[in-house]
Chain A
Amino acid sequence: MADDSRPHKAHASTRFYVVIALILTVITAAEVMVFYVEYLKPVLVPILLVLAAAKFTLVAMFFMHLRFDSKVFTGLFIGPLLIAVAIIVAMLALYGAFTGTTG
């Protein structure tokens, strides 16, 4: 195979990654619990979106090493991600998802 021997930046320790995995597990459990709590139904969507965003951020920052890596990689990821999110929101608005009408 090609030689990849480069001075890699020091990443986090094994214990740190296990802690991140535990946090991800707790957030997943919280998502499912929130789903089953009847009186949280009116605010279910924002709560779930915040929890999913937290998990997404943790994986991207620490497991994908964006926290430790070049900002160029962050830009390559976040740029298209923001465009995709903007298109999703625009399409939902176009199809009346926020007003209850149908497109």
Chain B
Amino acid sequence: MSEAVGTMDAEYTSTGLPNRKMAMWAFIGSECMLFGSLIINYLINHRRNLQGPYPEELLNIPFITVTTFVLLMSSLMMVLAFTAVERGDMKWGKVWLLMTAVFGLIFLGGQVYEFNHFYHEGLGLSTNLFGASFFILTGFHGAHVAVGVIWLLSLFVLASMGKLTQENALTVEITGLYWHFVDVVWIVLFVLIYLMS
């Protein structure tokens, strides 16, 4: 059989759906379970503190609203990057990919600032149960954002070298699925950690 047929067999399942996209959705499903366990850990433990600082003393709603807005807008840029690559507009595809990564970096910068501020206010990973559950939950999310930023920058470099073209739209779509999932997780965390505390 020709290599082309072999490639197609490797790419597609008997359902007619792309293998890699199927794998990404299965991965996202497993991530739902991971973040579910971290969320329940936070919800159960964040009020069981023998000593402060307590959530209401530290959480800064206006600041985190701005970083939440930044992450939401990065999702818009991600989907614009995908549509640009899909229609073969690589110039704007690269612009939106880079902007998505930059907005992700701004969000991460906000998280680093917040962690640093909390630490200087006396909240460490082992200070109390609020600190432990908060840092683990938001830290895991931040690590996911960091992976996404590296992934996006890799695609930007490949696109700049001419190795990412309209034919690779599925690659950008799969990257987008990961990025949007990171966004929906934050939609939940923003409400559960900051607004409901």
Contacts and interface: CB of A to CB of B under 8 A. Distances in A.
B43 A52 contact: no
13 contacts: A1-B158, A21-B72, A44-B196, A55-B184, A55-B187, A56-B187, A63-B78, A72-B17, A73-B21, A84-B33, A84-B37, A95-B44, A103-B44
Interface of B is mostly: helix
Contacts of A73: 17, 21-22, 25
A79 B11 CA distance: 24
Interface of A: 1-6, 8, 11, 14, 17-18, 20-21, 24-25, 28, 31-32, 35, 44-45, 48-49, 51-52, 55-56, 59-60, 62-65, 70, 72-73, 76-77, 79-81, 83-85, 87-88, 91-92, 95, 97, 102-103
A31 B76 contact: no
B171 interface: yes
Interface in B147-197: 158, 163-164, 166-171, 173, 176-177, 180-181, 183-184, 187-188, 190-191, 195-196
A76 B74 CA distance: 24
A41 B76 CA distance: 32
The 10 closest A-B pairs by CB, nearest first: A84-B36, A4-B170, A80-B29, A21-B76, A76-B25, A5-B167, A52-B191, A80-B32, A81-B32, A91-B40
